[in-house]
Amino acid sequence: MADLNVPYIVPTAALVVALALRGPMLWRAGRRDPDVRATVLLLLWAAAVLVVITPINIHRLNVWTGIPNIAAPWAYSFLTAFCATSLTMIMRWREPPSDRRRRRMIAIYWIYAGIIAALWITFLLADVPEPRIYDLDTYYATTPWLREHILLYVVAHAVSSLVSASMLWKWYPEITKGWIKSGVVCLQMGYASGLVFDVAKLIAVGARWSGHDLDALSTKVAPPFALFKAALVALGFIIPQAGPAIQTRIRNGRDYRRLRALWRTVRVTNAAAATARFGVLTPVDLKLMQREQRIHDALRVLAPYFDHTAYQRHYAEAAAEHGEDQARGLAGAVAIHKAVDAYTANAPLSTHDQPPLIGPEVTEYLDTIGKALHRPRLLDRIRQRTTSTESVTVHV
């Protein structure tokens, strides 16, 4: 049985880890944001379904409770709750808040709550004494009340998948945000997998009604599509929320690393006497903000040593071969190096005709200056060309 549990354990573990790591934070935010709260519930229902339907857990429930096949109403109830939450989540995405949307969402919750109640009633009325771990749906396909029990969850799941896929299909051409598009693609694939699961189950059950044996469709074909659907739908709802945050984190990390060379260049000024010390787990956006602030503080200290006239010459030389941003970065890098050398030599420039601060032509291009500092040969070439031009001008 251990080998048969592996396909269930992998997606289940992924969902449980996602809930453990993100659940508390998402739930706190969900107090203010119902969309986030619904995402947590969606993950919870999906994880609960996968936990319950794992073969070893079905066996444990039978043993612990002493009720054969008790896992069926539990799993199908969580699956039905998952369907209701999926439908309402799509409605939240597609439609702005309104009384009509709220009424429709409440109606969906009541309908699916009624289905969950009916699942428990039909199970309690059915006579299912023989525990079945893998083939419950087909083994009891002709049993009174469990037959209705099976039809309830399969039809509810199929309707949810069809309606969700239809809403997403109509909405997709209107979507402009890339992360939402990616999420919708995952959802569409997930609901398509869910429909394959439903069709396989219905054919297998229908075959039993007509006296035929197509149990393999229910026991072998359908389960992988159910697992695939759970993973894709959960991913589809997570991507639009987690994607932008991950993208921002990556961008901030990239900017933080790019500014490392610039900070190492200007930190000789000791502009920040007392700075907060951040640990490894400190969010990168806070680290980036601190590094940017330190660099700005250092540039204020370097202002008396910064040669604005030389900067303009460096910029003109760089702009002859490079675009605006790169030229600003190269010129700023060369000029800041000279300002640091002047600061180290304690040789401030004359204040005559010199601005009191380093202007936006430098401060607004810190990122490109940081990139330029990683290209010392190019900086040396700009510096040499500027020096040669100055020599020719002086000679003439």
Can you spell out the DSSP letters for 79-132?
HHHHHHHHHHHHHHHHS-S-HHHHHHHHHHHHHHHHHHHHHHHHHHHS---S--
Range with lowest mean pLDDT among 13-17, 68-72, 210-214, 345-349: 13-17
**Does the pLDDT value for residue 134 go beyond 90?**
no
pLDDT digit string, tens, across residues 81-90: 989 988 998 8
Distant-in-sequence contacts of 216-220, Cβ < 8 A, 24+ apart: 218/135, 218/137, 218/138, 219/134, 219/135, 219/138
Res 279: pLDDT? 63
Q: Closest Cα partner for 9 from 227, 193, 222?
A: 227
Q: How far apart, in whole angstroms, are the C-alpha atoms of residue 382 and residue 392?
A: 16
Residue 23 CA, chain-centre distance (Å), reads 13
Q: What is the pTM of this model?
A: 0.70
> Do residues 302 and 340 touch, judged by C-beta distance below 8 A?
yes
**Does the pLDDT value for residue 274 go beyond 60?**
no
> Do residues 169 and 191 touch, judged by C-beta distance below 8 A?
no
pLDDT digit string, tens, across residues 14-23: 677 666 655 5
Q: Token pair for residue 179? A: 């992360």
Q: Closest Cα partner for 222 from 138, 122, 146?
A: 138
- Tokens 């759970």 found at: 230
Tell me the pLDDT band of 31, cut-offs 50, 70 and 90.
low
Query: If you compute the radius of gyration of the chain from its CA atoms, what whole number of angstroms results?
Result: 32
| Consecutive H or E run containing 366 | helix 366-372
